[in-house]
Structure 1
Amino acid sequence: MSPTTAASPAPAPATDAPPKPSPGAKRSLMGSLIDATALLRAASFKEDSYVAAALPASDLRALADLRALLATHPDQISIWGVPLNPPSDAPADERTDVVLLKFLRARDFRVRDAHAMLLRCAAWRAEFRADAVLDEDLGFKDLEGIVAYMHGWDREGHPVCYNAYGVFKDRDMYDRVFGDGDRLSRFLRWRVQIMERGVRALQLRPGGVNAIIQVTDLKDMPKRELRAASNQILSLFQDNYPEMVARKVFVNVPWYFSVLFSMISPFLTERTKSKFVIAREGNVAETLFKFIRPELVPVQYGGLSRASELENGPPKPASEFTIKGGEKVFLEIDGIEAGATITLDLVVGGWELEYGAEYVPAAEGGYTLCVERTRKVPAAAAEPVHNAFTAKEPGKMVLSIDNSGSRKRKVAAYRYFVRKPSA
């Protein structure tokens, strides 16, 4: 079974720039799939290398100096299971230099500052019992998958951590979690537990995946009430998880946060600013799809992934395409056998368009069946469109995605499964 498209007009002669479609024009799905590649802009942030041959001589000297300082310590120091001052006769561990470089970069390669930071981190981990936190039940199971959670990975293999604090606009929920010092301490420990899961998913090897992606949802976030907790979380992570975040994506950003970012921008380093990605409400899926494949983006952010879906391994890849303003795209999935069942999920970033599905028998003169009557899908749609259909005769499923009423280009993705008839 392969997706095809409805017949399209003959292509226009090639030009330097493709002609813009007129309002209401229909375009093939293949054209939309090709256009989708334009969404993958070159990353503004170039992740640091941990390969020795790629490091400048000054960085290598700082790394050697930090190793020499640590070698004077009588006790063995280990962070995230990585020995940082192993005995001279111990076999080399390629992870050691990766962790040391993270501390050096966090302090602009000032060796003594990086050394002091590393020792404070090791002391905090011992006092906090950070190595044991992964095995603890801290009583926040109901916040898993809502407030802070690891889910999937980006297009380059970085684990992705999602953060959303809008649930705390409810006063009862806020009091239950932050009502006193003990509750706040337990929440901070739980938040460190999530971070530790992310670190454990890293390779910490030269040329490997050595940082995570953070996606922070600012929708309904009660800023004033969470100030104390957010400041403590930020301080903990800055002091004890250096260079562990490759990119910070802020989604559902209110207009006043956009103004704030523009105001503080002159005071941020280019390195810091290059890690930031800002997505206003209504532009979340398009932004996330640039960095994360749709089948790994949670459904609440316009993707196809549900909470428990990754437990059985990587999901089936989705096909991506774009629909320009004023376009209607037909997607055909043909070669369906009699008795086969096809299930399909489709998402469109920003929605606000019309969708319908029908089944067309292969036999000439067969009756076309309505799988889903054409309907308007609102911008606020919280779930992918889901269709399931069992064919009584061979044929194809035809989906219509009509963006004629909008002038805005939209990203979209779909995937389908066919269960063949049993013998």
Structure 2
Amino acid sequence: MELHIREGNEKEHEENYEEPLLVHEDEKLIKRALIDFKFKVEDAMHGNYLFGIPDTHPCHNQTTTEIEQLNEIKLWGVSLMPSKPHEGTDTLLLKFLKSKNYVVHEALEKLRKTLAWRKEFKADEILEENFGPEFQKVAYLNTVDKEGRPVFYHVYGDLKDKPMQYLKKMISEENSDKFLRWRVQQMEKCIKELNFEPGGADSLIQVIDWKDFQGPHTKELRSVYRKCWTLLEEHYPGIIHQYIIVNVPLRYYVSQSFSSRLITHKPSNKIIFARPGKVTETLLRFISPENLLIEYGGLKRINDSEFSSEHKVFELNLKAHASTHIEIRAPEVGVTIVWDVTVVGWNVTYKEEFIPEDEGSYQVLLQDKEKKGGERQCVRNSYYINEGGMISIFIHNHSNKCKKVFYRYKTKPTVPTYLLYKT
């Protein structure tokens, strides 16, 4: 598979991140190609050659059950019989058409190969397989992007603490097939979250984290992953809307950038590489801050008991070498204010205070620190309000670049600890 990459910090409009069109997508051309494709698919199903060479001597004694089974061929839970369509049939068939530049006979061949591969690979049964605990932390499905697409993470750096014998075993010829099956299983799990009906989220975002993914055997591991990518492109067309590979080592980024330019001059936005300093900025173009994990500079925490994606997130633009204040006023006494704050790229002075309304009361310094550039974890804090006042958050930008600040807050009724002990 050819990898055409783009640096994550290029300043382009959001719509430029869409997968480039292989042809000028004239609506009439697409509609005509889809009608032709549906006709050929149904003809192949009736002729019993969707999985292989046409049967030149069809059996005239085929039972009704056998005929019905041919007519009930499904892919990812979607019926492929155009005359008995599922609401997602057109969407699914269009994925195969688009992957082959709307050339109908090539799309049909790709569909046939995919169905044959799934039968041989037993892909429909793979969800029941258990591959052991070693890969549980490597991949997980978490949140959605701005368009409602599921976001699937692969965190390869979690393999760095594995003993060398484990890595050697994992990339061996014997176990590479097992790894490939595990990767297909992850894809099948993701597809369960998709909706092929019109207007539904019918593709996903794949975030691949290469942090700490370096060592004597990473070259072999990347070779295994490259095989996975090739398989996914061949048999899961249009399922992965975007690859975003983050924390890419500089050496690898430079080599891939150079080699891709030698291969082709055509633009491609399907794969984006982001170096460590551009991870948060890149991911925020696709994922809103409330849905981006805190380890990538967002506000989302796993199993968060305080906030959900439904809580409103506020955004501020902080100019170079400028300061800003965030003021959270206490609505009443006897509540606790909880807040999250994150600055893209940090490199700021950050201070939190409680400022009472009564001039005779003391201000309370909650924290005052220098947040270095490259940090990603958001700040979470809380304060019990026992008198009227407000939380004041001061941020000063030390860099010569404008930064984005995201924050959210809430209040919750709280019973003071001393009252609990008193009762």
TM range (shorter): 0.7 to 0.9
| Letter paired with 1:239 | E
TM-score (norm 1): 0.79
Using the TM superposition, name which of 254-263 and 224-233 deviates more.
Answer: 254-263
Q: Does 1:319 align with 2:290?
A: no
Q: Give the percent of matched residue pairs that are identical in Structure 1 and Structure 2.
A: 34
1:410 to 386, 391, 403: 403
Task: Please say if residues 296 and 377 of structure 2, whose CA atoms lie closer than 8 Å, have aligned partners that are also in contact.
Answer: no
Q: Cα offset for 1:83?
A: 0.8
- Write the deviation string for residues 40-78 of structure 1: whole angstroms up to 9, x where unpaired: 9332044699xxxx9622222222222222212232321
Structure 2, unmatched stretches of 5+, are 1-10, 49-69, 417-423
Q: Cα offset for 1:135?
A: 4.1
Task: Please say if residues 41 and 290 of structure 1, whose CA atoms lie closer than 8 Å, have aligned partners that are also in contact.
Answer: no
Q: Does 1:151 align with 2:142?
A: yes
Structure 1 pair 130–261 and aligned structure 2 pair: CA distance change class (3 A): same
Structure 1 pair 58–211 and aligned structure 2 pair: CA distance change class (3 A): same
Q: Indicate the SS of the match to 1:115.
A: helix
Q: Cα offset for 1:419?
A: 0.6
Partner Cα separation in structure 2 for residue 279 and residue 335 of structure 1:
40
Partner Cα separation in structure 2 for residue 216 and residue 136 of structure 1:
24
Q: Indicate the SS of the match to 2:269.
A: helix
Q: Does 1:187 align with 2:179?
A: yes
Partner Cα separation in structure 2 for residue 388 and residue 177 of structure 1:
47
Q: Indicate the SS of the match to 2:285.
A: helix
2:391 to 386, 393, 397: 397
| Letter paired with 2:200 | G
- Write the deviation string for residues 262-295 of structure 1: whole angstroms up to 9, x where unpaired: 5414634746x13333322112112211221111
1:252 to 244, 247, 252: 247
Corresponding residue number in structure 2 for 1:217: 209
Partner Cα separation in structure 2 for residue 326 and residue 177 of structure 1:
52
Partner Cα separation in structure 2 for residue 127 and residue 407 of structure 1:
57
Task: Please say if residues 147 and 164 of structure 1, whose CA atoms lie closer than 8 Å, have aligned partners that are also in contact.
Answer: yes
Aligned residues: 372
Corresponding residue number in structure 2 for 1:333: 328
Give the alignment of 1:156-175 within 5 angstroms: 156-170=147-161, 172=163, 174-175=166-167
Q: Does 1:81 align with 2:53?
A: no
Corresponding residue number in structure 2 for 1:267: 263
Using the TM superposition, name which of 182-191 and 158-167 deviates more.
Answer: 182-191
Partner Cα separation in structure 2 for residue 210 and residue 269 of structure 1:
29
| Letter paired with 2:15 | A
| Letter paired with 2:13 | R
Partner Cα separation in structure 1 for residue 163 and residue 96 of structure 2:
40
Structure 1 pair 40–343 and aligned structure 2 pair: CA distance change class (3 A): farther
Task: Please say if residues 345 and 376 of structure 2, whose CA atoms lie closer than 8 Å, have aligned partners that are also in contact.
Answer: no
- Write the deviation string for residues 229-252 of structure 1: whole angstroms up to 9, x where unpaired: 112211220111101122222322
Partner Cα separation in structure 1 for residue 211 and residue 75 of structure 2:
35
Task: Please say if residues 92 and 196 of structure 2, whose CA atoms lie closer than 8 Å, have aligned partners that are also in contact.
Answer: yes
Structure 1 pair 129–316 and aligned structure 2 pair: CA distance change class (3 A): farther
Partner Cα separation in structure 2 for residue 41 and residue 57 of structure 1:
28
Q: Cα offset for 1:95?
A: 0.8
Q: Does 1:348 align with 2:343?
A: yes
Structure 1 pair 136–322 and aligned structure 2 pair: CA distance change class (3 A): farther
| Letter paired with 1:354 | T
Corresponding residue number in structure 1 for 2:230: 235
Q: Does 1:386 align with 2:380?
A: yes
Give the alignment of 1:102-141 within 5 angstroms: 102-140=95-133
Q: Cα offset for 1:362?
A: 2.0
Partner Cα separation in structure 2 for residue 40 and residue 346 of structure 1:
26
1:95 to 61, 78, 88: 88
Partner Cα separation in structure 2 for residue 301 and residue 143 of structure 1:
21
Q: Does 1:43 align with 2:24?
A: no
- Write the deviation string for residues 202-236 of structure 1: whole angstroms up to 9, x where unpaired: 21123332211122223333441213311221122
Q: Indicate the SS of the match to 1:338.
A: coil
Task: Please say if residues 159 and 198 of structure 1, whose CA atoms lie closer than 8 Å, have aligned partners that are also in contact.
Answer: yes
Q: Indicate the SS of the match to 1:358.
A: strand
Q: Indicate the SS of the match to 1:225.
A: helix
Q: Indicate the SS of the match to 1:246.
A: strand
Structure 1 pair 253–270 and aligned structure 2 pair: CA distance change class (3 A): same
Partner Cα separation in structure 2 for residue 154 and residue 269 of structure 1:
29
Partner Cα separation in structure 2 for residue 269 and residue 99 of structure 1:
30
Structure 1, unmatched stretches of 5+, are 1-38
Partner Cα separation in structure 1 for residue 76 and residue 238 of structure 2:
14
Corresponding residue number in structure 1 for 2:53: none
TM-score (norm 2): 0.79
RMSD: 2.8
| Letter paired with 1:308 | N
Q: Indicate the SS of the match to 1:264.
A: helix
Corresponding residue number in structure 1 for 2:31: 60
1:301 to 296, 300, 310: 296
